[in-house]
Structure 1
Amino acid sequence: MELLQQLSATFADAVWSTPLVTLLLGGGIFFALYSRFLPYRHFGHALGIMLGKHDTPDEPGELSHAQALAAALSGTMGLGNISGVALAIVAGGPGAIFWMWVSALVGVATKFFTCTLGVMYRGEDNLGRLQGGPMYIIREALPRRFYPLAIMFSVAGLVGTLPIFQSNQLAALIREQVFPHADPTMTGLLIGCAMAVLVGIVIFGGLPRVAKVAVALLPVMVLTYLGLTLIMLAIHIDEVPGVFASIFSEAFNPQAVGGGLLGMILIGISRGAFSNEAGVGTEVMAHGAARTNEPVREGLVAMLGPVADTLIVCTCTALVILLAGTWQNPGDLSGINLTVNAFREDLGTLGVILMFAITLILSSTTMFTMWYYGAKCFGFLFGADIQHHYRWLFVGTVIFGASVSIDVVFNLVSGSYGLMAIPTMVATLMLSGKVKAAAKDYFRRHPY
């Protein structure tokens, strides 16, 4: 197991090194400048689209704009917002949160470009059904010599979208908080089987069922989590300015935790991308299923994701952990349990119970959406006619993830996520002119 941990860590570190972070951060800055900050200037219109003012039920696609955003957010707004933030703070200190914010701000522009292309260049699978995603963008819009990038994305997506991280962290929470003295292997197996049944019930209903569940559960989760955070902030109101000051001061500290300034930046950007998926490409698959013939419209909806995901929910987690102070001496706690214990410090058993419910919703909705992403990658590689078999593999890995090391799981998924970003960002940069032209045409036809 120790060798496996070392290999997985080496893999993740090699992927999430300076070149990839430069690609994501530099690419996002390029999209913002190239578009003259167009996405940031149209948040009001984006909210109107998301609320259904421009839904077109007779146009191609499976989901409304709101359902597409909910499906995408159920994938991004997962345990990365709770467990991933805890891991980032322990590894990089408070300053890592600043760089997560930076990744979210540039991610707004990135998501606008990638998800506009996701609708603009939808393609048919071998059953003749319309599909979206970076692999279809590459196949439909780029010369044939770039097709290996589509294969690369799909192969990495099969690993990066497996539910092992989500089931691992939910099982870890239940073992630590509910069955601390039980046999961890047997407990993990039983928890994994229970989760597998729950996930199977939803995913065997297809994407529409996934979207309906996400639309119903996510608003409740976000409001509950915001409420808990506000209570924590009220309890520690005198300490809040100091926490924000530490985030900004440590963001440029050359002696920062996590290998100095560069190490902290790498941690913050990578965890931010892992959380909001801007530039990774998974969100393109969800938004590519939107029911619209206006690609720019879906790009505008998609750009709301990093704001809700990272700037709001991840910030809540960061503030709670930093106020509790347990990140400096985490002991045996890691990931989800570090966050839960931060709530336990001030809210007691009630805080643990509410966090348990939130974690259950987050992990479940994320696994539902990750199935869809993985299935699309599987269908692209092996054919949509046998894509239904992927459900059984996915359900099986829910059980597997509940009983393995968090380090191996997180590094494997994180590294694969990084590999997915390479073809996504390369294709988007090459086709950015198409998005700019489409945006100009859209706002000429739809002034407001």
Structure 2
Amino acid sequence: MNRLFVLLGAILGWSQATLAQESQSFSDAVNEVMTPIAAVIEYVVFYKLELAWLMGEGTPGIPLIVIWLLGAAIFFSFYMGFPNIRNFKQSMRIVSGKYDNPNDPGEVTHFQALTAAVSGTVGLGNIAGVAIAISIGGPGATFWMIMAGLFGMTSKFVECTLGVKYREIDENGVVSGGPMYYLSKGLTERGMPSLGKVLAVAAALICIGGAFGAGAIFQVNQSATQFTNELVSMTGGENSFFYGRPEYFGVVFSFFVGLVIIGGIRQITNVTELLVPFMALIYISASLIVIFSNASEIPNAFVQIFVGAFSPEGVQGGIIGVLVQGLRRATFSNEAGLGSASIAHSAAKTSEPVSEGLVAVLEPFIDTVVICTITALVIIVTNSAEPGATDGIALTSRAFASAVDWFPKVLTIAVMLFAFSTSITWFYYGQRSFLYLFGNNKAADLAFKLLYIFMLIVGSAMTLGSVVSIADALLLAMGVPNIVGLFIMRKEVKGMLDDYLARVKSGEIKPYAEEA
């Protein structure tokens, strides 16, 4: 009961003097409650296939969820004929706006839908998550992150194509889409209404958990850590008022998130289409400066990546440990196969579902192949990885500081932008799922907004270990019901793709300016 009062007191803004009378700090109370919950969630979702009997003592097990997601990505890539590679050029044409027709159904442009979805994936998983992967799995984890990103592009194509096809648009033009809709409606059309409903409800429930875990808790936790560390260093170190009080950042952060989420997807995309290019420019520019200031180490970094990917003596359990860390962090970062991004892409203005599916393939490429690789190179060329370390954002910050001592301040700005953009997009994902389950009404909408803001404040005070466990598990679990549905509907998507490409080739589908 005391812990509950501590939490409520902090959230309602009770004075520090009142909190000081409690036996625990806010952070201690949060972590005592959340740590055992995180352990249970992680155990269930990351159940491992043990390999010691096959490959020798000490070989780590492979989480079945990782096999599930990677296997699906590889299968869809071959089955669909690698649209992630063959149709990359067409993807760029579509997102450039050449095919944008303002009269098409939907709420946002192809580019806005992409930036909203990218803002949901390009977050602190690209910064803190990569640091964790390399510290635990070694530089070779980078190779497996890239592979997961390339194959994951096709998973994104499949789910986002279905997201647009089975979306619903109300009388006000508001779009509702995502795995809940294509699982229920798509499987009903195939004579499996009960299975479709079960999978849709499961996807919605897990997506809500993912919104809280990956969208709120992980993002605010790592940005609060980076911001508070920098603020403390400028205001007296351990004697600073802000020392050990990341929840203050959480309150401010949640306030600004609240200002944006009031406006729905249109307001969110208005923010993300400006924020995503800007934050990417800041982070990539700073990273390249760090990388090229250590130019002599670049060749060796690539050697470490490729050799480490297949080394029988990796940092944690050899090749299997390296592979698992790379795939786990990549999937957490780019969300391929989870169905979450289809919620944002469903809002795109288009009458061609496949066109938005092709836009979606750009997400894992931007997120994992480009940004995650850049982060990995920063850590490797500066030799900042610490075997077994799990301090995430702090490790990346030290890598930046090794090149230019004030670069952690640049990283702080990038981190807050990444976290903010991811949080507002994941709010939208969670909100659509919540309203699917509880009805599209004002009471349900308000309830989810308050819950989401509450989790932002709680997340700011949690320890990283619990945060990573909850965020990983709640996010990746979405892939279970989603992949089942994607596999069942694979022939439909393949037919839609072939038909679309044939019409593009024949000239039936052409840029909107030419049609006009």
TM-score range for the pair, normalised by the shorter chain length: over 0.9
Show the counterpart of 1:165: 218
Question: Matched residues in 2 for 1:5 and 1:141: separation?
Answer: 34
- Residue of 178, 187, 194 corresponding to 2:231: 178
Deviation, structure 1 residue 184: 6.5
Distance 2:41 2:432 in 1: 25
SS at match of 1:193: helix
RMSD of the alignment, in Å? Answer: 2.0
1:51 equivalent to 2:96? Answer yes
Cα drift, residue 14 of structure 1: 2.2
Contact 2:136–2:388 under 8 Å retained in 1: no
1:81 pairs with one of 122, 126, 129: 126
- Partner in structure 1 of residue 370 of structure 2: 312
Out of 387, 410, 413, the position equivalent to 1:357 is 413
- 1:421 Cα deviation from its structure 2 partner: 0.6
Q: Answer with 134-143 or 114-123: which moved more.
A: 114-123
Aligned to 1:33: 78
Contact 1:73 1:309 in 2 (8 A): yes
Between stretches 255-264 and 213-222, larger displacement belongs to: 255-264
Q: Is the 8 A contact 2:104 2:349 kept in 1?
A: yes
Partner of 2:474: 416
Residue 323 of structure 1, CA deviation: 1.4
Q: 1:248 aligns with which of 306, 330, 333?
A: 306
1:428 is matched with which residue: 486, 495, 508?
A: 486
CA positional deviation for 1:329 = 5.6
Matched, 1:112 2:157: yes
Asked if structure 2 preserves the Cα contact closer than 8 Å seen for 1:9 and 1:408, the reply is no
Runs of 4+ with deviation above 3 angstroms: 1-9, 15-18, 123-130, 182-186
- Partner amino acid for 1:395? I
* TM superposition score normalised by structure 2: 0.83
Query: Which amino acid in the other structure matches residue 323 of structure 1?
Result: V
Q: Quick one: which amino acid aligns to residue 280 of structure 1?
A: L
Q: Helix, strand or coil: the match of 2:347?
A: coil
- Asked whether the equivalents of residues 157 and 361 of structure 2 are also in contact (C-alpha less than 8 Å), the reply is yes
Cα distance in 1 between the residues matched to 2:169 and 2:68: 29
RCO higher in 1 or 2 (8 Å CA, sep ≥ 6)? Answer: 1
Structure 1: 5+ residue stretches without partners: none
Q: Does 1:22 align with 2:67?
A: yes
How much does 1:441 deviate? 1.2
Could you tell me whether the CA contact under 8 Å between 2:231 and 2:242 is conserved in 1? Answer: no
Instruction: Give the direction of change, closer, same or farther, for the CA distance of 1:192–1:286 in structure 2 (3 Å limit).
Output: same
Match of 1:7 among 37, 40, 43: 40
Question: Which residue matches 1:218?
Answer: 276
Of residues 173-182 and 230-239 in structure 1, the stretch that sits farther from structure 2 once superposed is 173-182
Deviation (angstroms), 1:418: 1.6
Which of these two proteins has the greater Rg computed from alpha carbons?
A: 2
Partner of residue 392 from structure 2, selected from 308, 318, 335: 335
Superimposed CA distance per residue, residues 305-351 of structure 1 (whole angstroms, 9 cap, x where no aligned partner): 011111111111100111121212686x71111101110111111x1
Aligned-pair CA distance for 1:185 = 7.9
Shift of 1:65: 0.3
Work out the CA distance in 2 between the residues paired with 1:412 and 1:125.
34
8 Å contact 2:247–2:460 — kept in the other structure?
yes
Q: What is the aligned length?
A: 446
- 2:460, 2:260 → 1: CA distance? 19
**Percent sequence identity over matched residues?**
36
Task: State the shift of 1:8 in Å.
Answer: 4.8
> For the residues of structure 1 that align with 2:41 and 2:471, how far apart are their CA atoms?
9
**Partners of 1:128 and 1:151 in 2: CA distance:** 24
User: For 1:238, what is the secondary structure of its paired residue?
Assistant: helix
Task: Report if the CA contact (8 A) 2:100-2:110 is conserved.
Answer: yes
Q: Where does residue 99 of structure 1 map in the other structure?
A: 144
Quick check: 2:108–2:347 contact (8 Å CA) kept in 1? yes
Provide the residue aligned with 1:64 in structure 2. 109
Could you tell me how far 1:130 is from its partner in structure 2?
A: 3.8
Between the aligned partners of 1:243 and 1:108, the Cα distance in structure 2 is 25
TM-score in terms of structure 1 length: 0.95
Q: In structure 1, the residue corresponding to 2:87 is in which secondary structure? A: helix
1:12–1:411 CA contact under 8 A, matched in 2: no
Contact 2:122 2:418 in 1 (8 A): yes
